[in-house]
Amino acid sequence: MNEALIQKTSLFFKDTFQAEPEIIVLSPGRINIIGEHIDYNDGFVLPAAIDKIITFAFQKNNTTNSRIIAIDLEDEFELDLQTPIVLSDKVWTNYIRGVVLQLKKANFNFQGFDCVFSSNIPLGSGLSSSAALECGLLYGINELFKLNIKPVDIALMGQKAEHWVGINCGIMDQFSSVMGLENKVLKIDCETLEYEYHNADFNDYSLVLFDSNVKHSLFTSAYNTRREECEEGLRIMKNNFSQINSFRDCTENQLLSVKDKMSPNVFKRAHFVIKEINRVELACEALDNGNIPFLGELMFETHEGLSSDYEVSCAELDMIVNTLKKEEAVIGSRLMGGGFGGCTINLIKKGQEEAIKTKLSKLYLDTFGIELRIYDVKIGNGTSLYNPN
């Protein structure tokens, strides 16, 4: 599948610029096994890069002008590197403008380039296509102009580009897109950016994503509200316990002891965060021990917390998870990503996938009148140069 995408991107570049691309960059989307809404709460997350990617073809053009073409959108724009970079009404271009702005702010010396890109990361599904776009572009410019930017700094600059666009995201998406390894999950400490790899051998189970095919408009405002509620909760915890610096220092008992000092919503948000940070640790142990059924139980717990305490689920996602929970072949399911739509991530016993897909798809269509989209995913490598040999 990715080979066809690479060929398509390369041929488009050749037809457009009458030249072979100097480099081809592959930049993946990501999943998060567990640790949702924790990256901006200084906890731990457990993401992985996947085998759904954006493919970029690049060349230097020895001018101060860059031409960027989005093949799938049948759209393009030009960026003069000598003029101030400002937000555009054409939203997809802002991620690219944001990347170039970060490079300029950091005083990197680079010139104009030509770039085309194409993707098989489903848009709006919570698989972080924007992080793949930012990091793939940064990686390509870094390689073209020998800027010697470290991988971790590529992730951090990608995050800053996304902030500039207006999404106040944590570091998880960009970090996992850049640093992912095939058949490994990344445990990232979102406070220090220390990270470690854990084997992602799901043994007798397949990773399947069920895309609800909805995206409720609540998302951006609710995301920012959740951040504010968490900050308020942490402030109250710090005021009452001198040893607490972040949610990772909090116990559930400490939180319960100051419940009356918090609004109901602030308490619920903090409750979820403290329990979810603990679940990430338990998930790493489960993976290390090959105890995949226990990992699945933790995923179900996370969904319950995201739905009841963090309140970022929706009727469609809850229906998917509640339906799958009754199926013996499904050992874990939860919403993945920001919420209010997007995907569930699911562990399904090998050999049972098609039966589960057929049954759920029919039930979902009957319930909501919406077609369920389904993606089989494998854990792949982070952003890299394509080498055909």
pLDDT in tens, 236-257: 999 999 999 999 999 999 999 9
Euclidean distance between CA atoms 184 and 113, whole angstroms:
34
Sheet harboring 75-80: ordered strands across? 75-80, 65-70, 113-119, 47-60, 23-32, 384-385
User: Chain-wide mean pLDDT for the chain?
Assistant: 95
The answer to whether residues 159 and 177 touch, using CB atoms and an 8 Å cutoff, is no
pLDDT value at position 223?
81
DSSP 371: P
Q: Quote the strand ranges of 323-370, DSSP E.
A: 330-336, 341-349
pLDDT value at position 222?
86
Coil, helix or strand for 374? Answer: strand
In three-state form (DSSP H/G/I as H, E/B as E, the rest C), the secondary structure along 67-120 is EEEECCCCEEEEEECCCCCCCCCCHHHHHHHHHHHHHHHCCCCCCCEEEEEEEC
* CA angle 183–189–190, rounded 5-degree value: 115
Count of residues in the chain? 389
The answer to whether residues 29 and 377 touch, using CB atoms and an 8 Å cutoff, is no
Coil, helix or strand for 309? Answer: coil
Shortest CA distance to 177 belongs to which of 31, 351, 383? 383
pTM of structure: 0.91
Which residue in the block uniquely carries the two structure tokens 């490994």?
184
Residue pLDDT, tens place only, 27-60: 999 999 999 999 889 899 999 999 999 999 999 9
Task: List Cα–Cα distances, 50 to 140, 181, 208, in angstroms.
Answer: 19, 9, 12
The answer to whether residues 337 and 170 touch, using CB atoms and an 8 Å cutoff, is no
CA 242 remoteness from chain centre: 34
Active-site pick, 39, 42, 51, 173: 173
Low-confidence ranges of the chain (pLDDT < 50): none
370 phi/psi in degrees, rounded to 5: -120, 135
In the residue annotation, 189 being an active-site residue is answered as: no
In this structure, the strands spanning 184-189 and 205-215 are unpaired
